[in-house]
Amino acid sequence: MAIVLLAAPLFIDLAIATAGNLLRPRASGTAGQRGIRLAVVIPAHDEAAMIARTVRSLIAAGCAAHHAGAGRDANAEPWQPPVFVVAHNCSDATATVAEAAGARALVLNNPRLRGKGAALRFGFQAAQATGANAFLVVDADSIASPNLISATGSALASGAEVTQCRYELEKPASGPFKGLARLRVMAFRGINVLRARGRAGLGFSAGIFGNGFAVTAATLDRVPFAADSICEDIEYHVKLVCAGVRVRWVEEASVWAPLSPPGTAQATQEARWEGGRFHVATRAVGPLVSAGLRGNWRAWGALMETWSLPLSRGLVALLLTLLLPLHWLHVFALVCALIACLYVLQSALLGGEPARDLAALAMAPAHIAWKLLITPLVLRQTRKRAEWARTRREAQQP
């Protein structure tokens, strides 16, 4: 029974995702119903090597949105979306490089204000002081699709309070671990694209992933961004759902981030994410169950999302059920396995190279074994408050 309780949230979430993705993606909306003055906020901690390309991609997207007039009232003054980079407790030249690339650098040096949440609050306040009434959050190592700002502005202008676009990893060009890297990219796509897209297709809140999400100033007044854990995106999404706010999915726009290198950097990053997620999940149960019992049906979907195991660990749990001589447990495992197969197939189809992605599944046993090996590191992270830290990556050309 414990195995069922552990695995059930994951496979319920996967069932929602696979069912929702069978429906036609909903349009993000049409602009013109309310004036949106969107600003981009980039929280950055020691990102001098990556920030220039991020800023330039967003300025290009902002120029495109400005000329298109997305999210702007026909009678309103022209609005050029500004890009703010919050250089938070940096020991490098992040602020200088960001300004040289065309951003407005905001320096926040305060050892007592730690974490991405503090940087975002500082950025939101500064952006609002310039006249912005909505904020698009993009990570400092990412690049944006040319239509990111226009598509986000259109969704907000049509009434969305919070939006989330596609968030994917850049595919590796080459390397000795290319198969494993492609598998990681597909797994990431499943979490941050397929599941969000599927939830939105069934009317649930899409979720936010800390990169490529936007929120209006009015929503921040209603639901303050008081999220300071390492998984501040999940923490804030729980608050939004409990307050009755649904995150709208923006299908047509994307942000891409680089893949962390295999080895220590990957292990540390994934352990911090998994440990931080568990830390948030234990505190989310009470508010989400309470909201669900009061008739907020989207809270049940958020509860399944928050308590979902990584798929690799969920599959290990299913294998353990086969060791128990219980027929109903074997039926449960079979149904969950079928759901997982449909989910993986859909993840591959969403990537544009399904044959190569499916071939990368040959590396799945090695990936699952690796996830089991880092379990002690994950458990250590659940017992402490993780710090916001830069994951080591290769510098990118601006």
Which pLDDT tens digit goes with each residue over 340-349?
999 999 999 9
Question: What is the distance of C-alpha 223 from the center of its chain?
Answer: 19
DSSP state of 388: P
Distance CA 136, CA 222 (A): 17
Paired sense of beta strands 104-108 and 83-88, if any: parallel
pLDDT number for residue 137? 97
Domain extents for the chain?
Answer: 25-177+188-261
| Confidence label for 66 from pLDDT (cuts 50, 70 and 90) | low
The CATH class for the domain spanning 25-177+188-261 reads alpha beta
Residue 282 has pLDDT above 70, yes or no: yes
Residue 388 has pLDDT above 90, yes or no: no
Max intra-chain CA distance, the chain: 70
| Confidence label for 269 from pLDDT (cuts 50, 70 and 90) | confident
Using a pLDDT cut of 70, give the percent of the chain over it.
Answer: 86
Query: Could you report the per-residue pLDDT of 369-384, keeping only the tens digit for each?
Result: 888 887 777 777 665 5
Query: Could you report the per-residue pLDDT of 186-197, keeping only the tens digit for each?
Result: 999 999 999 999
Residue 393 has pLDDT above 60, yes or no: no
Q: How many CB atoms lie within 10 A of CB 191?
A: 19
pLDDT number for residue 67? 56
φ, ψ of residue 397 to 5 degrees: the values are -70, 130
Q: What residues have CB less than 8 Å from 398, skipping those under 6 apart?
A: 52, 53, 56, 101
| Confidence label for 398 from pLDDT (cuts 50, 70 and 90) | very low
Asked if residues 57 and 82 have their Cβ atoms less than 8 Å apart, the reply is no
DSSP string over 264-296: HHHHHHHHHHHHHHHHHHHHHHHHHHHHHHTT-
| Confidence label for 275 from pLDDT (cuts 50, 70 and 90) | confident
